[in-house]
Every structure is written in structure tokens, then in C-alpha cells.
Amino acid sequence: MTLSDGVVTLRPWSRDDAAFMAEAFADPAIRRYNGVLDRLGRPAPPLSVMDAEALIDEWASNWRAFATSGTPSAGVAFAIMDARSGDLVGCCGLDDWSKADVAQFGYWIAAGARGRGYATRAVILLTRWLFELGAARVFLTIVADNEASIAVARRAGFVHEGTMRSHGVWWGQRCDVMWFAALPLEWTMRGPDEQT
């Protein structure tokens, strides 16, 4: 499964991508906003290349299950690539698909590729795909101080529906989490000129 708008391509991860993933997961911002945290908000250790390979293998299994069932599940993840150069720049993937056909996903962009519009384009591609699969609602949860990610959600046509106060925790400090959503009948199917 590959999705592309000619600038960004989304494709399943490959074991060949493990070194990139391990390096990206060492980034404090990715660990802060996308990593696994314990109940006190402490991040898991950075991924080794072997850890990244195991995670990629798990995602490959999720892709096989999707091919059989036709319904995506948590862990259906795409590598985000620059369509022109073929360089890996980030990740986006499904966190949940509920029995009510509500999809939640997340994304991250490697430090050296931020600020170039990759995340917004990836969010639009993934949202369009989820609606085509039958999602009745697609949503994002974003830590309130993650201004770059909030800007991506807004540019991608997501509506801020509210803030869950003290919903998250980071190193023992409670933090607010914002809720953004898109509905298929409201969401603007944006063209390439609107995706920056």
C-alpha cells in the first residue's frame, strides 16, 4: 500500500529503515510527544536498531492482518518519504480503529526534515485514506505545548474540539492534551496548493 501526492509518499516500513527509525527515536521531541511513557511520564529508553527491526516486524504483521480483514488496526504504520528524493523523513500510523469506525492516528517528522510541510501532507494523505476505508471520524490528540503539531492539525483541516486538562504527564508534570477531529462530510479534500 502506497499513498502519494507527488511531494510526499507514504509506504509501509521495511527492515532496511531500522537505522533511520532508531536514530529518529533518539530525538527528545519524538520521545516526548510520540514515545511510550510510563505512568509518571518517563520515556522508554531509545530504540536500538534491533528494537526498531522488531517494531517494523510487528507493523508488517499488522499490514498482513489488514490485507486479510480489510479493516485497519492499531500499528498499521507508514514511513513518510520525500517523493522526489526517496529520503525517509518520518512516520504516521494508526493508533486505534474502534468498532464504531472512529480512527485515531499520530505522526512524527525527523529533526532534520521539520518545517518543510511533510507532516501536513502526510496527515492529509492518511486522513483521505482512512475516510476512503469507511472511517466515520478521524481524530488526533496533541499535547498542548506541541505548537508545531497543532499547526499541522489545523493546516490539514482538523477542528479543535476541546482540551482535556491534566490528561497527560511528562516527567511527573501534568499537561493538557488537545483534541482535534475531522468528519468526512465536513473535511475539505484539499488540493496540493493548499497543503503547505
What does the pLDDT look like over 20-42, one tens digit per residue?
A: 999 999 999 899 898 888 999 99
CATH number at residue 153: 3.40.630.30
Q: Provide the residue range defining the domain that includes 107.
A: 3-194
Question: Please, which residues have CB within 8 angstroms of residue 117's CB and are 6 or more apart in sequence?
Answer: 7, 195, 196
Nearest residue to 30 (alpha-carbon basis) of 95, 78, 92, 116: 92
Q: Kindly report the CA angle at 176 between 164 and 128, in degrees rounded to 5?
A: 65
Our count of domains for the chain comes to 1
Phi-psi region of 38 (alpha: psi -120 to 50; beta: other; left: phi over 0): beta
Q: Given this model, what pLDDT does residue 93 score?
A: 95
Q: What is the pLDDT of residues 102-155, one digit of tens each?
A: 999 999 999 999 999 999 999 999 999 999 999 999 999 999 999 999 999 999
Q: How far apart are the C-alpha atoms of 130 and 155, rounded to whole Å?
A: 18
Query: Which amino acid is residue 70, in one-letter code?
Result: G
